[in-house]
Amino acid sequence: MSVRRIWASVTTLALAAVAALGAAAPASAAAGGYVALGDSYSSGVGAGNYLSDSGDCRRSTKAYPYLWAAANAPSSFAFVACSGATTSSVSSGQLSALSSSTALVSVTAGGNDVGFASVMTDCVLSSEATCVNSVNAAISQVQNVLPGRLDSLYSNIRSRAPQARVVVLGYPRFYKLSGSCIAGLTETERGAINRASDILNGVTAKRAADAGFTFSSVVDEFTGHELCSGDAWLHSVSIPVYNSYHPKATGQAGGYLPAFRSAA
């Protein structure tokens, strides 16, 4: 049995359950209310220390919104990001936290809209060709469907918080190519996943700019800390399964927090 098949067998059960994706600020930002919207990358899935009242949203005290609020003491802090959130569910379930007095907003959204969990499951459990096809299908969704969904979400955020500074954060590249991994995905698969992340970030950055929002990439912060780097700030296939392909506490503190802080 090949190493790839053994690895896939070990992780089948875990990946079947993967469903979620996922220095002080300027005084003007800290002086008003701060609202943290988005998916699991903003709620802090994978970082641990989840707030007891957050349930399956898994909002972590190690997530960048919580860390920023603790350091900057905004006049109010609403942490409503939730694991598994899409652009639609952010609009329908999180925007009530915004108001005309909101001064600062952060948001990550889009990965779940294009089927991130399904792509990673295909790549881990199926052939290289299936993985690449799944990635390409997701890229098509990013290019042809996601822009309209992001436009709708961003418009709704602006209408609810007309004076707020809105910071849209992207997603990291997952893999260091030609890195230390000796099992698991092929280099072709890893490269395809990284390309999809780059395209997703590019589309998100363009829609954010057109909305008058600030896009902050986390790619530079995570460079050298990807999977297969030997110092990964991201979980690979993990138990509990919801941690898989999400930032660890070090990824939130060393990657997302600086990216947000520089834009906030």
For the chain, the maximum distance between any two Cα atoms, rounded to a whole number of angstroms, is 61
According to DSSP, residue 76 is labeled E
CB neighbours of 53 closer than 8 A, spacing ≥ 6? Answer: none
Start-end of H helices in 126-162: 128-144, 146-160
Using DSSP, state whether 74 is helix, strand or coil: coil
Query: For residue 22, which amino acid is it?
Result: G
Task: Identify whether 246 is a catalytic site residue.
Answer: yes
Phi, psi of 165 (to 5 degrees): -85, 125
Task: Identify whether 40 is a catalytic site residue.
Answer: yes
Q: Write down the catalytic residue from 28, 40, 96, 238.
A: 40
Cβ contact 182:130 at 8 Å = no
Cα separation, 31 vs 200, in Å, equals 32
Cα separation, 235 vs 223, in Å, equals 15
Q: Write down the catalytic residue from 42, 83, 134, 246.
A: 246
Q: How far is CA 117 from CA 15, 22, 168, 197, in A?
A: 8, 10, 21, 13
Short-list 43, 32, 42, CA closest to 76: 32
Structure tokens at 244: 């898989």
| Sheet architecture: strand order including 102-107 | 76-79, 33-36, 102-107, 165-169, 214-216
Active site residues: 40, 246
